[in-house]
Chain A
Amino acid sequence: MRRVNKDERTRIRFTLNGRAVAGDAESRMLLTDFLRHVIGATGTHVGCEHGVCGCCTVLIDGAAVRACLTLAVQAEGRAVTTVEALASPDGALNALQQAFQRHHALQCGFCTPGILMSFTDYLARNPHPTEDEIREVLSGHLCRCTGYAGIVAAVLSVSAGSSRQRNDSASPEPTLKLESRS
């Protein structure tokens, strides 16, 4: 039985974007805060902090979930994938990210990391979604800039593209690309 008392800090270890990470946290620390403040991986954004806006969506063992509704201690032993994993180590954007750029699927970009992670999971399960299916997945996100049309167009363009492109967007290699904290 794993137990972390409320006045205790514990060492938490999991795999982030293919690399083992560790850090100390209280039992109440959210995965969002652990990623951003302990690890320094600030690609995952914090919006509403109660599961509504979708900005903090990450993959845990491949499934898109809200990091703000997950305790850091619950990620122990899991594989966490964040938006930092999508581009290649040299900075080249993956097919889904390029499509977002091409179709003006973002303006301020605050909600974008969560949306990218949702569709990374969804397109892996359903590589040829209809527009309705895309909009249903998108209903789990709030974007106040785009009106969603560009996002739908971007996802449609990737899913309608070549199978090679689809594979690129659907299953990103778990590579780590963190900016160094100086």
Chain B
Amino acid sequence: MKPRRFDYVRPDSADEAVAVLAEYGEDASVLAGGQSLMAMLNLRLAEPAVLIDIASLKELDYVRVADGKVEVGAAVTQNRLKDWPELAGKLPLLAAALPFVGHFQTRNKGTVCGSIAHADPSSEIPLVLATLGGEVVLRSRRGARVVAAADFQRGTLTTAREPDELIMAVRFPVQPTARVAFREVARRHGDFAIIAVAACVDDGDTVRIGIGGVADRPAARRASAAAAKDIFESLAFELKGYDDLHASARLRRDLLRRIGPVVVEEALRCAA
């Protein structure tokens, strides 16, 4: 299908984008890579009056390290971050998860911040951001604010972003160790995850565990190395799971019970 009519605006700066967002608010959608939004426009699941295209804003196309965090601007594509030479050293969990994000062809255009903005419960990038305890940098005419990942994603396709706010960047804390593991089950490589499990071992043998595709948002937990493999039984009940085209809630819980301990074991076995 084809999108409904909309006014197309391509600002020359983030300031301009924020000004246009202030003017139109809820009637506007921000277009970056468009790998989810354009499909939703074509299917007429999204019908914004105004489309604000920030994909070519050079000032938002950056990856930088500051204050122990890797900051990724809103115009950075998933493949660009995947090919960033420092990724495996600074964010090994994200390096392990990015190959599962869509396909080579969609990562060429899809952005890191776009995945965060879209907030699909089965998405890998929001899962990694939640697991590592990252944050989202927002800006509007009213000012700038930083929201913790745990507070940002509120539910399926729902976030704490106000209609006049632009996601400027996301920040991932640099990981202290390279002891990570990531696994996902999908119908075909690159499809929506039926379930995704991430684990990373912090200094002091605390294990961070992240689960995507089961609840309406990524679930992040911490456990001691000794107890980490045993949390999945109760976690499966707690997160409940959901039924959709790809899998039943029961299958999701069952996969979590089976794959969770394997992923934790993989992370613990990694050399420090």
Contact = CB atoms under 8 A, between A and B. Distances in A.
Report whether chain A binds chain B: yes
A26 B131 CA distance: 42
Given A4-B7, A69-B35, A139-B188, A51 B106 contact: yes
B7 A3 contact: yes
A65 B78 CA distance: 13
Instruction: Summarize A's interface: helix, strand, loop or mixed.
Output: mixed
Interface string A74-113: 1000000000000000000000000000000000000000
Contacts of A64: 104-105, 108
Instruction: Summarize B's interface: helix, strand, loop or mixed.
Output: loop
B42 A68 contact: yes
Contact of A1 (B3, B9, B41): B9
A49 interface: yes
B189 interface: yes
Contacts of A65: 105-106, 108-109
A78 to B, nearest CB: 9
Contact of B6 (A1, A28, A50, A137): A28
A179 interface: no
Contacts of A140: 102-106, 190
A14 interface: no
Contact of A49 (B8, B9, B42, B109): B42
Given A6-B7, A7-B5, A63 B108 contact: yes
Contacts of B1: 49
B34 interface: yes
Contacts, number: 107
B38 interface: yes
A181 interface: no
A30 B2 contact: yes
Interface residues of B, number: 37
Contacts of B20: 1
Interface in B1-50: 1-12, 16, 20, 34-35, 38-39, 41-43, 49
Given A50-B43, A51-B106, A73 B190 contact: no
A49 B42 CA distance: 7
A51 B1 CA distance: 12
B51 A27 contact: yes
A27 B8 contact: yes
Contacts of B103: 54, 136-137, 139-140
A49 to B, nearest CB: 5
Contacts of B5: 6-7, 26-28
Contacts of B190: 136, 139-140
Contact of A136 (B6, B38, B55, B189): B189
A139 B7 contact: no
A49 B44 CA distance: 12
B233 interface: no
A118 interface: yes
Contacts of A176: none
Given A50-B43, A74-B55, A140-B104, A63 B9 contact: no
A57 interface: yes
B9 A69 contact: no
B266 interface: no
A66 interface: yes
Nearest to A49: B42
B53 interface: yes
Contacts of A11: none
Question: Nearest 3 A-B pairs (CB), nearest first?
Answer: A140-B103, A27-B8, A6-B5
Given A5-B7, A65-B106, A139-B103, 16 more contacts: A1-B20, A2-B8, A2-B10, A4-B7, A28-B3, A28-B4, A30-B3, A50-B43, A51-B35, A64-B108, A66-B106, A69-B35, A118-B104, A139-B189, A139-B190, A140-B103
Interface of A: 1-7, 26-28, 30, 33, 49-51, 54, 57, 63-66, 68-71, 73-74, 118, 121-122, 135-137, 139-140
15 contacts: A1-B12, A2-B8, A3-B7, A26-B5, A27-B6, A28-B4, A28-B8, A30-B2, A51-B38, A63-B108, A63-B109, A69-B38, A73-B10, A74-B55, A137-B104
